[in-house]
Structure formats: C-alpha cells, structure tokens
C-alpha cells in the first residue's frame, strides 16, 4: 500500500464538521469599534483561541487591519503569536509566575505587574538579562481577581517610577459589571480608577497608557475609553449580555456547520441515544450529524437545541454523544451530505450564539470558547 500523501488531502474529504470565520466581518466590526472609541487606540483581545475563531489566523488578520495592540490571557498564547511571526505589541493580561519572566523578555511580550512583588521580579530579571521589560500595571478596582487594590496602589506606582529596566507602558483595570443595566458598580470602579490615576497628576507626570473599557465598557461607558479600549467578544460580533446597549453595530463572524451522514426511519417505541430519554409515538425521519460534546457542542443541549437543514429548523433529540447527535425531521426530508447549520444563518433563518447559550444554560462566551480545536477553521475574506 503506497504511503498517504497528506498534501493532497483536502478538507472536503476530511471531517464535514467545520467552523467558518468571516474575516471581512471581523474587519467591519473593528472599524465600527474604532470609530466609536476614537481617538483612543484599540487592543484586540485574542485570548481563548480568539474566542474560538483561531488565535494565529485572527492575529494575522488584525495585523493586516492595522490593529494597535493585541491582548491574550497567557504566556503560551503570546509565544505562539511570536513563533508565527506576529510583531504587534502583545499584552499578556493574566497573572505571571516569576520563572516565566525571561520568556516574556526574550520574546518582546508585555507583562502585567499586578503587585509590588511581581514588579520587583520583572525588574530583577530584566537587569540580569540586560533586556528591557514592557509593563502594564494592574489595578483592582472591584473585580477581586488580580491586581493591586485601588486603595493601596500608590506603593506600586511609586516603585514603578524607580524602575531602571522596566518601561511602564500602561496602567489598567477591569470592569466586573459594565454589561449590566445598572451601571452603578461600573461607575464606582471608574471613579476608583480615576483616583489612582491622580497619582500622576499630583506629581505633574504623564500617565502611562490608561485602559479599562472592555466590550461592555465600549458600549455603555464612553467616559471609560481613556487611551486604549479592549474589545473582546464585541470584536467577534456578539454582544456581552442582553442588557448591554447596542451602541456599536457588529455582526457575528463565526458559523459552525456539519453535514448529514446517516438517514433512518425510527419506529414508535424505539428510543434514541444513550439513556433512552427520547422516543416517538409515531414513525419519524431521523438524521445523524457527526458532531458532539467532544467538539464542544454541549451535552446540556440535548433535547433543547435546534439546527437548520435546508433552511428549516429541526430539534436535536436524545442525548448528544461525544462525536455524534441525532436530529428529528418528523416527515421532512434530507439526504446524506446535506449541510447542517449548528450556528449561523441559512434561508432567512438563524441559530445564534445567544440561542445556544440559552438552551445550554450558559453565556455566549462559553459557547464560542468551547468549540474544540479538532474542529477545523476555514477563513473567508468575502
């Protein structure tokens, strides 16, 4: 048997389940956000595999679109960007461990200093390696995650002025409730952040790049834009919550599709899938689709989700399996190879990420970021 030539294998003969990412929509969303926050710069947030859209490919596209900064959660995400030739400034937003610092410096990644101890570790490593460190100071104004508390931030800011090997490029915080209808807590956080920033004003010093506006802040709190805004889920065309004002027009960039791989007629009293949780009292046409919770299509969608086949909406029945699920057509028709829309639009109908989140009892963020990496991504520029 001759060896397999992997170069000749195209996607159409591999798994029929895939994610399509519309790069043109990402560009449109970025333009709309930029227009909203101008003259502030924009840091596009690419953590969690760019919210399921594909870290490296989206970063390349953002670079082509002239993005100012990129933001990720972890060191390994930043390293992957550098290994793939991305040269834009990259801020790692998450907490760091001291022994990670040399990798930041050697790869020109910007660090978050969330405490005096972290700043001292960065300064020491930069001195030892003879490499400059780009640093953003993190202030906790009410999230209680990472960052020096706003009421004791002066010590960190004082120490930062004495650093000889750290370039203090930015200072930032993060909203906990900017996506709510009641913005009182978000405004309290903003007030606390402004008070911290007066440290520079009192010393007649220019402040570093100031940023706190996430997607919800961009939509609802124009006074939070400062020098830099950080769109996350909004960049991908999804609003952060039902309560958040739609003050920026964006459209989803991701569609999730599969195909029918099996058609059968299920007789009355013959239950479908594990646990025998669903059966019909009359003959029904059922198709099998090769996608399951192993791909990130949540098991909690069992018996709740809908899909689109040939422009019509049909229910998912029985328990979703790791790699497959079943759909009830009743007396509708579908053939092997017919497209199945798990998330996206067809024939004037749509399955939105908000629909999936509601059916699964979660939030849109979790739906997008849980689409497994074994699902191929295909990128469209039209």
Per-residue model confidence as pLDDT tens digits over 298-350: 999 999 999 999 999 999 999 999 999 999 999 999 999 999 999 999 888 99
The pLDDT score that the predictor gives to residue 13 is: 52
Residue 20 falls within a domain, yes or no? no
The pLDDT score that the predictor gives to residue 12 is: 57
Active site residue 164: no
111 and 219: one domain? yes
Q: List Cβ neighbours of 1 (8 Å cut-off, separation of 6 or more).
A: none
Q: Which residue has the tokens 């970025």?
A: 30
85 and 178: one domain? yes
106 and 179: one domain? yes
With a cut of 70, say whether residue 8 has pLDDT above it.
no
Domain of residue 204, residue span: 39-236
3-class DSSP string for 111-122: EEECCHHHHHHH
215 and 121: one domain? yes
With a cut of 90, say whether residue 81 has pLDDT above it.
yes
Residue 126 falls within a domain, yes or no? yes
- Choosing from 36, 47, 118, 138, the catalytic residue is 47
The pLDDT score that the predictor gives to residue 143 is: 97
- Choosing from 151, 262, 264, 274, the catalytic residue is 274
Residue 324 falls within a domain, yes or no? yes
Residue 186 falls within a domain, yes or no? yes
Among residues 208, 236, 264, the one where a domain terminates is 236
With a cut of 50, say whether residue 370 has pLDDT above it.
yes
The pLDDT score that the predictor gives to residue 10 is: 54
Q: List Cβ neighbours of 102 (8 Å cut-off, separation of 6 or more).
A: 125, 129
pLDDT cut 70: percent of the chain above it: 96
Q: What is the CATH number for 228?
A: 3.20.20.10
222 and 318: one domain? no
Residue 25 falls within a domain, yes or no? no
With a cut of 60, say whether residue 73 has pLDDT above it.
yes
Q: How far out from the chain centre does Cα 34 lie?
A: 18
Are residues 324 and 292 in contact, defined by beta-carbon separation less than 8 angstroms? Answer: yes
310 and 221: one domain? no
Active site residue 274: yes
Number of domains in the chain: 2
Per-residue model confidence as pLDDT tens digits over 98-116: 899 999 999 999 999 999 9
Residue 247 falls within a domain, yes or no? no
Helix (H, G, I), strand (E, B), or coil: what is residue 351? Answer: strand
């Amino acid at each position: 048997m001759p060896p397999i030539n992997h170069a000749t294998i195209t996607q159409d003969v591999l798994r029929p389940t895939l994610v399509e990412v519309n790069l043109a929509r990402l560009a449109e969303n970025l333009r709309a956000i930029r227009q909203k926050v101008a003259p502030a710069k924009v840091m596009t947030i690419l953590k969690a595999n760019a919210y399921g859209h594909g870290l490296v490919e989206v970063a390349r596209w953002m670079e082509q679109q002239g993005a100012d900064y990129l933001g990720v959660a972890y060191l390994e995400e930043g390293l992957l960007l550098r290994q793939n030739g991305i040269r834009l400034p990259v801020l790692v937003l998450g907490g760091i461990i001291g022994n990670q610092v040399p990798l930041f410096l050697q790869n020109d990644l910007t660090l978050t200093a969330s405490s005096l101890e972290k700043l001292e570790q960065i300064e020491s490593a930069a001195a030892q390696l003879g490499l400059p460190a780009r640093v953003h100071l993190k202030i906790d104004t009410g999230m209680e995650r990472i960052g020096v508390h706003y009421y004791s931030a002066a010590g960190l800011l004082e120490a930062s002025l004495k650093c000889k090997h750290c370039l203090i490029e930015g200072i930032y915080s993060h909203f906990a409730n900017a996506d709510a209808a009641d913005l009182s807590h978000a405004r309290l956080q903003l007030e606390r952040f402004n008070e911290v920033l007066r440290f520079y004003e009192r010393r007649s010093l220019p402040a570093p790049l100031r940023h706190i506006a996430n997607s919800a802040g961009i939509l609802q709190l124009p006074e939070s834009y400062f020098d830099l805004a950080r769109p996350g889920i909004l960049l991908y065309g999804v609003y952060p919550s039902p309560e958040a004002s739609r003050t920026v027009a964006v459209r989803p960039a991701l569609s999730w599709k599969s195909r029918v791989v099996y058609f059968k007629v299920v007789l009355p009293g013959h239950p479908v899938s594990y646990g025998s949780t669903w059966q019909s009292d009359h003959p029904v046409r059922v198709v099998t689709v090769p996608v399951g919770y192993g791909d990130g299509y949540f098991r909690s969608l069992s018996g709740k989700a809908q899909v689109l086949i040939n422009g019509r909406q049909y229910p998912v029945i029985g328990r979703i399996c790791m790699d497959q699920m079943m759909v009830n057509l009743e007396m509708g028709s579908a053939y092997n190879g017919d497209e199945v829309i798990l998330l996206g639009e067809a024939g004037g109908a749509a399955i939105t990420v908000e629909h999936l989140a509601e059916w699964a009892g979660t939030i849109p963020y979790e739906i997008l970021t849980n689409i497994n990496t074994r699902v191929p991504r295909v990128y469209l520029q039209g």
